[in-house]
Amino acid sequence: MNRKFDLNCSSPQRQQGVALIMVLLVVALVTVLAVQLSEKLQMNVVRTMNYQQTEQAYWYMLSAEEIARNLLQLQLDESDGVVHQEQVWYQQTQDERVYPIEGGGLVRVGIKDLHSCFNLNALKGDGLSNEQLARRKVQFRMLLLAAVPDMDAYTADTIVESLADWLDKDDRLSSGYGAERADYESLAVPYQAANDYLVHESELRLIRGVTQPIFQALKPFVCVIPNSNKLRLNFNTVAEEHGELLHAVSLGGLTTDAGNAALAERPDDGYDRVEDTQSNSILQQAAQQTIRPDFGGVPQASGVTAETIGGMFDDLVVKSSYFELDTHVSVGDMVLRGQSKLYIGTDETVVLMRGLGEP
């Protein structure tokens, strides 16, 4: 008996099974798409929130900068430009005053007088005589040796001359201790000398001879004033434990210990005139001594001697024009750090530099 089968016909159960499989596949596909869309939506929400918080934190930083500018302008106008540690800006910085903002955020602003530290750009020779540049090199060399007691003389000479080469306009070595473009291009990770002003003190780490331990030891004593090679040390605002700065700037007229003692003897509201600093008994005693500049092993230009590079207290002042703001803003989960460098003049304030990130 011959049996015939219709291959084109399926049983109802088989049709139902195929339909169920199709439905399950569709459900699985829709589920996968829904999960992916949900993840992307969550990422977009988080990204949008981060963007909003970052923008809000940035504008809070600018607002804090504007308030600080107005505060400094007001206080300098009231004191005829004299700056000291009893002023509100300094006291609030020392107290680490924190200001709440809407939404549970916080703002903290620290203000630093850029005349209370050694301006690294002071070694840029533009407009300086041989005697003036030699004075700056001696001062920086003496600061290096005071701040890093275990530093040898050769390393100090190398750092001083290399910084001067980094700042000058040309690619010629100022001495055998210096470094220029060719020296940096030959490194495993090559780069070029700027041949211009430093913008931030962290650039010192790029200078030949400056290791990380040396940089960290020197960091509390140095700063950068943008586009200025002037060195003015405000005796009123130098930190009380930074006698190394007075030792260096006075060309050895003061030891580090004597510098600390002189700073401790200051009146709370500082001195009103630079001439009044001579009433400080430690400075009076030092003024009777002769300077002891340390020229190191670098050959000096003709006419450069201890007698021609200037006096002991030529670089001391009691007025300041340049300040640095360190702003810390917390908004939601976002924390923003920013730095601004300001010029505070008689009639105007100017933001010279603004940056984001850790100082």
292-313: pLDDT as tens digits: 899 999 999 988 999 999 999 9
46-81: pLDDT as tens digits: 676 667 778 888 888 999 999 999 999 999 999 999
- Say whether 231 sits in a helix, a strand or coil: coil
DSSP code at position 330 = E
How many other CB atoms are found less than 10 A from the CB of residue 132?
Answer: 18
Report how far residue 330's alpha carbon sits from residue 64's, in angstroms, rounded to the nearest whole number. 13
Say if CB 116 and CB 283 are below 8 A apart. Answer: no
pLDDT at position 25 is: 83
Q: Which residues contact 124 (CB under 8 A, 6 or more apart)?
A: 164, 167, 168, 197, 229
pLDDT at position 331 is: 87
Segment-wise mean pLDDT, segments of 10 residues, the chain, 359 residues: 50 70 81 77 69 82 92 94 95 90 87 97 95 97 96 96 95 91 94 94 96 96 96 97 97 96 95 95 93 92 92 96 94 87 90 84
Report how far residue 299's alpha carbon sits from residue 195's, in angstroms, rounded to the nearest whole number. 22
Report how far residue 246's alpha carbon sits from residue 182's, in angstroms, rounded to the nearest whole number. 36
pLDDT at position 5 is: 46
Report how far residue 223's alpha carbon sits from residue 298's, in angstroms, rounded to the nearest whole number. 25
312-357: pLDDT as tens digits: 999 999 999 999 999 999 888 788 899 999 999 888 889 999 988 7
Report how far residue 263's alpha carbon sits from residue 132's, in angstroms, rounded to the nearest whole number. 26
pLDDT at position 335 is: 87
Token pair listed for 139:
């001062």
Token pair listed for 202:
């962290």
Report how far residue 87's alpha carbon sits from residue 94's, in angstroms, rounded to the nearest whole number. 11
Tell me the chain's radius of gyration from C-alpha atoms: 32
Token pair listed for 310:
């200037």
Report how far residue 241's alpha carbon sits from residue 232's, in angstroms, rounded to the nearest whole number. 18
Angle between helices 153-167 and 130-147 (to 10 degrees): 130
pLDDT at position 333 is: 79
Closest alpha carbon to 53 in 87, 101, 6: 101
Token pair listed for 267:
């009146």
* Apex 151 CA angle, 150 and 154, nearest 5: 145
Report how far residue 232's alpha carbon sits from residue 114's, in angstroms, rounded to the nearest whole number. 9
Report how far residue 343's alpha carbon sits from residue 228's, in angstroms, rounded to the nearest whole number. 11
Closest alpha carbon to 259 in 268, 251, 267: 251
pLDDT at position 1 is: 47
